Structure 1
Amino acid sequence: MSVKKIYLIRHGQTDFNVQNIVQGSGIDSDLNEKGRQQAAQFFAAYKQMPFDKVYTSVLRRTHQSVQGFLDMGLPHEQYAALNEISWGVREGTRITAEEDAEYHGVLAQWNRGETHARLTGGESPDEVAARQRPFIELLTSRPEEENVLVCMHGRAMRVLLCQLLGYPLRRMDAFEHRNLCLYKVHYTGSMFTVRNFLDVAHLE
């Protein structure tokens, strides 16, 4: 098969991002003005790319981040598998000092390889990885889609990149992210490689 090129982006900025309010999979927020500008900048840079399919999570902020491509009539599929991790009872709240300690405690567990850990009522990285695997199988089973655009969320993107590249989930924080950043990934039919890492040239 020819090389499949996957353009993996995080959604644009929301007011929750600016206000340090936890979103996760349970908060279906909209892009703010800055986020819409970021989406427009990405579209301007990549509108000539012959994408065969656009994939998003089921959350509005990913749809809005690729709206320019959807308006072109490109085929679009949405999957809950691409949703952000659930942060449980923390979603929709501003992190307090006490909760921040709990949050960083869970991150420390993940960095030690305890990726079964979760915040109260939330998901673990292991659970996110499990729900992503059917999507990865779908993505790799469609060789006719040579150029695909995938829009998702920060923590879930880290989990996905670990799975694609064969990294243990404890290494997921190596994959930094920013609003509307791009990771370009190539798939040869047997392995994935990252060609663009945290690419934000389109936002400059």
Structure 2
Amino acid sequence: MSVKKIYLIRHGQTDFNVQGIVQGSGVDSDLNAAGRRQAAQFFAAYQHVPFAKVYTSALRRTHQSVQGFLDLGLPHEQHPGLNEISWGVREGTRITPEEDEEYHYVLQQWRLGNTSLAMLGGESPDEVAARQRPVIDLLVSRTEEETVLVCMHGRAMRVLLCQLLGYPLSQMDSFEHHNLCLYKLHYTGSLFTVRSFLDLRHLQETRS
């Protein structure tokens, strides 16, 4: 079997990212001007790659992040299984010091292995992993799609990388992310490996 190449990116910046407002799967925000610039820079750097298909979550900010590729007429599938984790009652709100304490308590519990814990009204990492598995099965079964682009969200991306690479979900914070960062993975038919880790070279102008 030939090596399958997966270009995995997080969506570009939104105003909610800048303002410190919790997004999650229940907030369908748009990219801001910086996010659109990031998307254009990624497209400029990778438009030559022969992507067989573009996969996104069902949320607008992922669609907008790959719009340049969609404008080329590349096949596109959106999957709610790739949506961001739901942060429940916290979504759409700015974190206050009291809520920040609760948030970090939950993150600490996840790092200790309690990945069945969720914010009030939200999802646990275990639940996110479960809804991602059918999408993973699709990706690995479609051997004819040798190179694909997948755009999703920060926390959900961490969960996905754990699943692809065989890490426990308690280790998901090992996978850093930034807006429009790239992880490039190869799949041999039995094993995923990371070829590029948190690649931001295409955003050098944005970062300067």
- Give the structure-2-normalised TM-score: 0.98
- Residue 81 of structure 1: how far off its partner (Å): 0.3
* Corresponding residue SS for 1:74: coil
Separation (CA, whole Å) in 1 of partners of 2:64 and 2:138? 23
Deviations 1:143-165 (A, max 9, x none): 00000000000000000000000
Deviations 1:95-154 (A, max 9, x none): 011100000000000000000011100000000000000000000000000000000000
Separation (CA, whole Å) in 1 of partners of 2:81 and 2:194? 21
Separation (CA, whole Å) in 2 of partners of 1:21 and 1:107? 17
* Corresponding residue SS for 2:193: strand
Separation (CA, whole Å) in 2 of partners of 1:72 and 1:138? 23
Task: State the match for 2:36 in structure 1.
Answer: 36
Letter in 2 for 1:196: S
Separation (CA, whole Å) in 2 of partners of 1:108 and 1:177? 18
Task: State the match for 1:82 in structure 2.
Answer: 82
- Residue 54 of structure 1: how far off its partner (Å): 0.1
Query: What stretches of structure 1 move > 2 A for 4+ residues in a row?
Result: none
- Residue 181 of structure 1: how far off its partner (Å): 0.1
Task: State the match for 1:196 in structure 2.
Answer: 196
- Residue 176 of structure 1: how far off its partner (Å): 0.1
Equivalent residue runs for 1:59-138 within 5 Å:
59-138=59-138
Task: State the match for 1:183 in structure 2.
Answer: 183
Separation (CA, whole Å) in 1 of partners of 2:130 and 2:191? 19
- Equivalent pairs counted in the alignment come to 204
Separation (CA, whole Å) in 2 of partners of 1:136 and 1:26? 22
Letter in 2 for 1:121: G
Separation (CA, whole Å) in 2 of partners of 1:118 and 1:106? 7
Deviations 1:46-87 (A, max 9, x none): 001000000000000000000000000000000000000000
Structure 2: gaps spanning 5 or more residues: none
Task: State the match for 2:53 in structure 1.
Answer: 53
Structure 1: gaps spanning 5 or more residues: none
* Corresponding residue SS for 1:185: strand
* Corresponding residue SS for 2:55: strand
Q: Give the RMSD, CA atoms, in angstroms.
A: 0.3
Separation (CA, whole Å) in 2 of partners of 1:82 and 1:159? 10
Separation (CA, whole Å) in 1 of partners of 2:3 and 2:100? 42
Separation (CA, whole Å) in 1 of partners of 2:141 and 2:111? 32
Sequence identity, in percent?
80
Task: State the match for 2:11 in structure 1.
Answer: 11
